[in-house]
Structures are given as C-alpha cells and as structure tokens.
C-alpha cells in the first residue's frame, strides 16, 4: 500500500496533513502518536469511512481513494475499531458467519427458496466460522451472545471476524485497549501468529508502547496530523522529537 500526501480537515481544522506512508507485503507497522494526533482519522481514510480532501491511497496497484467501505473490504482490507463494534445481540458464531457472507456462492434465489444449495453453502460457512473461532480459542463460546463475553474475548472475536473477510491487509485500532499485561503479551503472540498463518500485512495503532516496541518492525509517529518520525522501534525510542511530542516539552 502507498499513501501519498493525504489531507483531511474538519471545519477548517486539519486532522491529517500531508500524510505519506508505504507498506510492503508482510510488513508489521505501527502508527503511534499522542491523543488527538489523527491516527484513527488515517485509518478511517484508508477504509473509506471518510473521503480525503486531497491525496491518494493505492493498494495492490489500484487507486482506492474515497471508495466506500464495502468495496475496500472486497479488495482485501479489513479492520477492527478502537471501540469494539460487534453485533452484540448475535451469537459469537453468527458474528463470524456474517463476515463470510461476503464470498457467498449460492444465488439469492437459492436463499429465498431454501433449496439444497443454500443449506450446503450455509454449512460450509459454519464450518469455516468454527475454524476461525478455534484459532482464537473461542470455539467453546460459539453459541453465547457476543455481548456476554469478557472484554478480552470480545477483542479476539472482532479480530476473528475481520480475518473471516479474507484480507491481505489487516488494520488494528488499539487492539490492546482495556487489556491487562498478561492479555497484552498473549495479543502480541497472536498478532505474530496470524501474520504468518494468513500471510498478512498488518498496520496497527496502539498506545501500549510495550506492544508497539515488542511486535512492530517499523513505526510511523503522527503529531498534529503530520508524520514527525519514521523508523525501527529502537530509532523511535531514542528520537528526541518523538519524546518531545509525548512529553509536551522540548528535550535538551
């Protein structure tokens, strides 16, 4: 993915200004910055929630700038949200099955008429959904209502649902938010594991620096909508401008 000179304003206030980034296949990249720096706005621009005022977003050689979210999802980009967005009144299984309907193979008429092809297709999707639940250790919760799950399991379910859309780029918005230290360690291992298992490129926002520094190979730092630094975790850790942005004062 290549992002060139992205700009987005709200009411005359620039939330993202001249944002540039490049992700190679299989990258694991972090996007960090103080609260209000514009990180989630960048994610919303990539995934079609917002349309940029200027700039271009290219994925697999195609311009996806300003496309609607369903079209961007169909091209292989999936995301989770800072505030968990599950179908709370549906079961754990159905939350994942919904994502699989993107690639449903039976025609609409088969679903209406309830012909054998419809039931075969639904059985195949249920089997696939169970496979995703097993990966995230949620198979024993398949028939529970999503809202009844503990917070950490809801996070895992949201990632499982995103993976069920068969993405090549997975975007995670604060996946460790609300997790305890042990859950964060487990999340780090899970992120590494799913990248290998599903051959993913991963871009994540996270405030937990132990996770960012422990799992990301390269990091972009955003402040007031602009990139102020890019580099390896070690380079970012020792960057005076980054320290200044987080501490709010000049570092001598």
Tens of pLDDT, residues 20-58: 999 999 999 999 999 889 999 999 999 999 999 999 999
Q: What pLDDT score does 248 carry?
A: 61
Residues contacting 51, CB < 8 A, separation 6+: 45, 65, 66
**Quick check: 145 pLDDT over 90?**
yes
pLDDT band at 83, cuts 50/70/90?
confident
Q: How many CB atoms lie within 10 A of CB 154?
A: 20
**Quick check: 142 pLDDT over 70?**
yes
Which fold would CATH assign to domain 82-181?
A: Rossmann fold (3.40.50)
By mean pLDDT, which of 171-175, 176-180, 240-244 is the weakest?
176-180
Percent of the chain predicted with pLDDT > 90: 74
Residues 48/69, Cβ–Cβ less than 8 Å: yes
Helix (H, G, I), strand (E, B) or coil at 229: strand
Strand (E) or helix (H) holding 73: helix 69-74
Q: What pLDDT score does 247 carry?
A: 62
**Quick check: 252 pLDDT over 60?**
no
pTM: 0.87
Averaged pLDDT score across all residues of the chain: 90
**Quick check: 223 pLDDT over 60?**
yes
Domains of the chain by residue range:
1-25+42-75, 82-181, 213-252
Same fold, 1-25+42-75 and 82-181: yes
Q: What pLDDT score does 251 carry?
A: 46
Of 48, 26, 38, 49, which Cα lies nearest the Cα of 199?
Answer: 26
Is CATH 3.30.342.10 the right assignment for the domain spanning 1-25+42-75? Answer: no
pLDDT band at 111, cuts 50/70/90?
low
């Amino acid at each position: 993915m290549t992002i060139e000179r992205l700009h987005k304003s709200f009411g005359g206030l620039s939330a993202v200004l001249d944002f540039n980034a490049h992700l190679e296949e299989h990258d694991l990249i972090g996007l960090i910055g103080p609260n209000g720096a514009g990180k989630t706005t960048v994610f919303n621009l990539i995934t079609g929630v917002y349309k940029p005022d200027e700039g271009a977003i290219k994925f697999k050689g195609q311009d996806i700038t300003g496309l609607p979210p369903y079209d961007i999802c169909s091209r292989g980009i999936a995301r989770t949200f800072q505030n968990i967005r599950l179908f709370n009144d549906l079961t754990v299984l159905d939350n994942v099955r919904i994502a699989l309907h993107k690639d449903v193979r039976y025609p609409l008429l088969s679903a209406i008429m309830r012909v054998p092809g419809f039931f075969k297709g639904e059985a195949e999707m249920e089997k696939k959904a169970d496979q995703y639940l097993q990966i995230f250790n949620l198979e024993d919760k398949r028939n529970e209502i999503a809202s009844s799950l503990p917070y950490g399991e809801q996070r895992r379910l949201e990632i499982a649902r995103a993976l069920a859309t068969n993405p090549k780029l997975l975007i995670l918005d604060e996946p460790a938010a609300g997790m305890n230290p042990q859950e964060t360690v487990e999340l780090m291992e899970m992120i590494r594991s799913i990248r290998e298992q599903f051959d993913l490129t991963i871009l994540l926002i996270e405030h937990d620096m132990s996770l960012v520094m422990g799992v990301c190979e390269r990091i972009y730092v955003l402040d007031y909508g602009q990139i102020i630094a890019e580099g390896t975790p070690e380079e970012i850790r020792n960057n005076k401008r980054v320290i200044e942005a987080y501490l709010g004062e000049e570092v001598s």
